[in-house]
Amino acid sequence: MTKITIAIDGFSSTGKSTVAKRLAKALGYVYVDSGAMYRAVTLYAMQNGLIETDCFDIDGLISQLEDIDVSFKFNEDLGFAEVYLNGINVESAIRTLEVSQFVSQVATISEVRAQLVKQQQNFGKDKGVVMDGRDIGTVVFPEAELKLFMTASAEKRAQRRYDELKERGDDVCYDDVLKNVQSRDHIDSTRDDSPLSMAKDAIKVDNSNMTLDEQFEFILKLSEDKI
Ligand code: C5P
């Protein structure tokens, strides 16, 4: 069976990773969460004093990029690959609201993007990959056979993210989550390098009123039509 590349882009908290993981499992493909890579670099910057509330040492981060190793390791129990920063599992540590508050600034830095995009292209060099992010169909895999662009209202997305954070036990308020979703959408869509935009050949999926099963079935059918 031919293997294809599936690129899933879209706004923050549109449920891209949930459907991408399920799709990868159904097709026997590798799933790569590219956002987790930007989050891991952000966590590194926070842990190393390069980002503090009113100060972001961009040059310092660029000069330390070669010390940052982001990798994935498949977790059999969870059924997906978890992200590691310099050998330490940071799958949970990268999902906090604090990391979300800085990640889009880190993602504007071209040197960071160049390093991560190269790694992402390497992950997908043999096809058979489902990757989600912001620039997968436009920059990382412009030749992807199937490109999806996921969207939903900001309020729905914030509610989903808020529920997720609460379920993990994080002490967050809905308004802060909504502001973060809106601010990331703005920074991600207006940055100079690889802004979030829908590829010309992408299929738009507004999942505001779709269940997870409906999204999965719809996207699985699109994938099978291409394989
Ligand atoms: O997908 P997730 O919300 O975890 O991504 C976190 C952030 O990483 C995004 O808001 C965006 O700033 C950045 N990102 C990016 N390009 C990607 C994936 C994520 O700029 N391909």
- Residue 23, domain CATH: 3.40.50.300
Residue 31 maps to a domain: yes
Residue 168 maps to a domain: yes
Residue 110 maps to a domain: yes
Give the residue whose CA is nearest to atom 2 of ligand 1: 35
ipTM of the complex: 0.99
pLDDT tens for 108-137 read: 999 999 999 999 999 999 999 999 999 999
Q: How far is CA 8 from CA 17, 64, 168, 214, in A?
A: 9, 30, 25, 16
What is the DSSP annotation of the chain? ----EEEEEESTTSSHHHHHHHHHHHHT-EEEEHHHHHHHHHHHHHHTTSEETTEE-HHHHHHTGGG--EEEEEETTTTEEEEEETTEE-TTGGGSHHHHHHHHHHTT-HHHHHHHHHHHHHHTTTS-EEEEESSIIIII-TT-SEEEEEE--HHHHHHHHHHHHHHTT----HHHHHHHHHHHHHHHHH-SSS-----TTPEEEE-TT--HHHHHHHHHHHHHHH-
42 marked ligand binding residue = no
Is the per-residue pLDDT at 1 higher than 90?
A: no
Residue 224 maps to a domain: no
pLDDT tens for 12-56 read: 999 999 999 999 999 999 999 999 999 999 999 999 999 988 899
Residue 5 maps to a domain: no
pLDDT band, residue 198 (cuts 50/70/90):
very high
Q: What is the pLDDT of residue 133?
A: 98
Domain count of the chain?
1
Ligand 1 neighbours, Cβ below 6 Å, are 12, 34-35, 38-39, 103-104, 107, 133-136, 184, 188
Q: Which residues form the domain of 160?
A: 10-208
Pocket residue to mutate for ligand 1, from 11, 14, 19, 34, most atoms within 8 A of Cβ = 34
